[in-house]
Chain A
């Protein structure tokens, strides 16, 4: 988004966030009222598409960063390709988990706390909004705004991990869903655990970027570290866009 000015970029971020929020509510209502699987899939794909395009800027892969192979712009292009290849690889792990979930549980799901599930989903969604905001601030040279938005993202990310591992896991265990009980417990802990592990690495990544930004390592023109952390963070959000309905919304409770 190098060509847009700052208010425009921020406004776009807000618009996308509103779309995502509305779709999440819609998803929840569809699941409660209709239990229509195809609709849920369409909503999830739409949400993921919005994030991948507007927040992760996948189109930047096509950027013509010609010129010297030694230039920062060209190297950033190479780094960007490397990161996306990594995300492609990583998505096979999550894909494999989804396949396992549907193979083992079919159209049933564990009995989980719906309010909490929606709550952590909203926390992660809001964190994505601030992450996007932080990146546009950096791209427009607003260091102070970048630091504030990144800090909020980190806090929300940590909140998500605590919500899932610290609260949800305890509640589920109290309901009798344990790792060593029936296989729905195994699947639940494996999926949420793998995702929470990625959120945790994202938080650490953001914390590193936050510290480096305070040391003025980045500038409006040269901030590959920030871009990488941002894209990774949104990727973790995309994973949850599929994991949330797979665990909480699709199928009937066992």
Chain B
């Protein structure tokens, strides 16, 4: 416990509390002096909460020490290039500059946040098990549902940041990320943000869902503002993480690692980072504009003042559609990365797969208005956005053809990581095939705002992120710890989760087609959806249980897992050619790339060659 109280995490949280009270107190004092209403329904007034939240976030960062080197630089004091981490587990709750530690910090936080988002889902899923309102009221239901959405999005952003941070420097042979302090900063700002996100529960909640559309979001309770603030801060984490990754890949590669010898996961990370670097600013801006509309009465989205609520949707979806590719591209990269290892064959069409990630990312910038076919936007926009959206199927199809052709005729072995890879392909295929009906205007007018959409995007999120994320954890766990995770429990996890998940999404799509609207807390018993909803709820709890099995396996294997120091999966990738766990400063001897990354099974082929000495 003493180690916790002395940690950067505990210091940060304490300072966040102090900073929030100071910031909010200041605004309250000023308002009292100006003769404005000083207090609100939730203790402080709304401006005091927002300003307090901002000051608290900055106080967290100042207090936990992640910015102290920068402050020294500003004062003209030089600092050490490297920091040594303490040997035990406490390095994970302290500021570390090591990309591997930060990667694990991200991943563990992602799992915790994933659990939180899952818990919210279980709560409102239970409410939906039967028609009629059982134990939640409307606002509580809406807040749970909105929080489920945004908390899961944050969990996914943390999860992909974890994978990219841990893996990319190892895959390209770098000692660390290009900007280690910025990397630590990007991780630590997500902690205060996560707290603000959850705080919205206690500040009246918010009833808009995760999309936060005005005009509803312009008059929701204070919780709405904390939601906006939290997403804004998480957005900065995503922007700076993307920046760091692009600089790392551009500048820190091993000798001989030309662009078409980069591992596919690195290509996927580049595509993801290009989106998060640029488009994220627009969701930040749109949320900031609603915040200002609420605080200062600016009329951006208020038609009475000449504003336009549809503008919000344009700004919001300009990020939030490409964001979907931020979520799935790293996962699809993991699939392409692991498949050849377990098939013992070269990846089919390497160059096409590498380019398809960039293709998806770039086309993804031109499709956002497919979320707005029913919004009342100018009608002439519908058809171009329909075609641009359908175009995404082309680079996505390239990936599927590559996977199928890679599997064809291979010597397939199926340990747990490969199970999740195969599960990911199947589930993502379901998500992909149910996409075009939503992109096509004529069918979307019927499907919009129904459970069909809910089923569709859960398929894409699970196939594109959840399955590959679990595959990556089972696969690289030995690299991080020197032990492997339990195979039996891994298979229990998979066989519990996958059928339950498919039943759940197919059930959602079925009632969606029959007219079940999404985002509502209750439905008419006469619609006849009670049985299906009960099945969906049971399936949801099975998925939740399977993830508990995973978490148990994860923590048990850290201590008691079977030792695995060598090249467990017989991979060609450089990180497996050195012993596990990975040394603190990565490769003792640099390597040079001398061949193609995925030439599995070709006699005499070689990907990397380590230098004889330093």
A residues bordering B, Cβ < 8 Å? 69, 74, 77-78, 81-82, 85-86, 88-90, 92-93, 96-97, 99-100, 103-104, 179-187, 189-190, 208, 211-212, 215, 217, 225
Contacts and interface: CB of A to CB of B under 8 A. Distances in A.
Interface in B272-290: 277-282, 284-286, 289
A100 B289 contact: yes
A90 B300 contact: no
B302 A104 contact: no
B315 A96 contact: yes
B251 A77 contact: yes
Given A180-B297, A180-B299, 5 more contacts: A78-B252, A82-B243, A85-B277, A103-B311, A211-B76
Contact of A217 (B76, B252, B292, B299): B76
Contact of A93 (B246, B285, B300): B285
A227 to B, nearest CB: 14
Q: State the 10 A-B residue pairs at the shortest beta-carbon distance, nearest first.
A: A180-B297, A186-B298, A92-B281, A183-B299, A183-B306, A212-B76, A78-B251, A96-B285, A217-B76, A179-B296
Given A81-B247, A180-B297, A88 B306 contact: no
Interface in B47-99: 73-76
Interface of B: 73-76, 178-179, 182, 239, 243-244, 246-247, 250-252, 277-282, 284-286, 289, 292-293, 296-300, 302, 305-308, 311, 314-315, 318
A86 B73 CA distance: 19
A114 B311 CA distance: 29
Contacts of B297: 179-180
Contacts of A88: 277-278
17 contacts: A86-B243, A89-B239, A89-B278, A92-B278, A92-B279, A93-B282, A96-B281, A96-B315, A179-B297, A179-B298, A183-B300, A184-B306, A186-B299, A186-B300, A190-B292, A190-B298, A190-B300
Given A104-B306, A182-B305, A92 B282 contact: yes
B337 to A, nearest CB: 25
Chain B interface, DSSP helix/strand/loop, else mixed: helix
Contact of B307 (A97, A186, A215): A186
Nearest to A207: B74
Contact of A82 (B247, B284, B286, B299): B247
A81 B246 CA distance: 9
B315 to A, nearest CB: 6
Contacts of B318: 96
B277 A89 contact: yes
Nearest to A214: B76
A103 B298 contact: no
A90 B236 CA distance: 11
A104 B307 contact: yes
Contacts of B286: 96
Nearest to B273: A85
Contacts of B239: 89
Nearest to B78: A217
Given A85-B247, A100-B300, A179-B298, A78 B307 contact: no
A90 to B, nearest CB: 7
B178 A78 contact: yes
Contact of A185 (B74, B178, B280, B298): B298
Given A103-B308, A182-B305, A81 B281 contact: no
Contacts of B300: 100, 104, 183, 186-187, 190
Nearest to B246: A85
Nearest to A180: B297
Contact of A215 (B76, B289, B296): B76
Contact of B243 (A77, A89, A190): A89
Contacts of B296: 179-180, 189
Contacts of B76: 211-212, 215, 217
Contact of A183 (B74, B244, B307, B314): B307
Contacts of B277: 85, 88-89
A81 B302 CA distance: 40
A183 B298 CA distance: 7
A184 B182 CA distance: 37
Most buried by B among A89, A104, A211: A89
A225 B72 CA distance: 13
B281 A90 contact: yes
B282 to A, nearest CB: 5
A100 to B, nearest CB: 6
Nearest to A70: B81
Given A69-B252, A89-B239, A92-B282, A82 B178 contact: yes
A106 B318 CA distance: 20
A75 to B, nearest CB: 9
Given A82-B247, A103-B311, A183-B307, A97 B285 contact: yes
Contacts of A78: 178-179, 247, 251-252
A96 B282 contact: yes
Nearest to A78: B251
A91 to B, nearest CB: 9
A27 B286 CA distance: 31
Contacts of A82: 178-179, 182, 243-244, 247
A254 to B, nearest CB: 10
Contact of B298 (A77, A99, A180): A180
A153 to B, nearest CB: 18
B251 A81 contact: yes
A59 to B, nearest CB: 16
Contacts of B284: 93
Contacts of B314: 99, 103
B289 A182 contact: no
A242 to B, nearest CB: 16
B585 to A, nearest CB: 13
Contacts of B307: 104, 183, 186
A185 B298 CA distance: 7
A93 B319 CA distance: 12
B357 to A, nearest CB: 19
A213 B224 CA distance: 45
Nearest to A65: B251
Contact of B74 (A74, A103, A208): A208
Contacts of A189: 296, 298
Contacts of A184: 306
Contacts of B306: 104, 182-184
A236 to B, nearest CB: 16
B285 to A, nearest CB: 4
Nearest to A187: B300
A136 B278 CA distance: 31
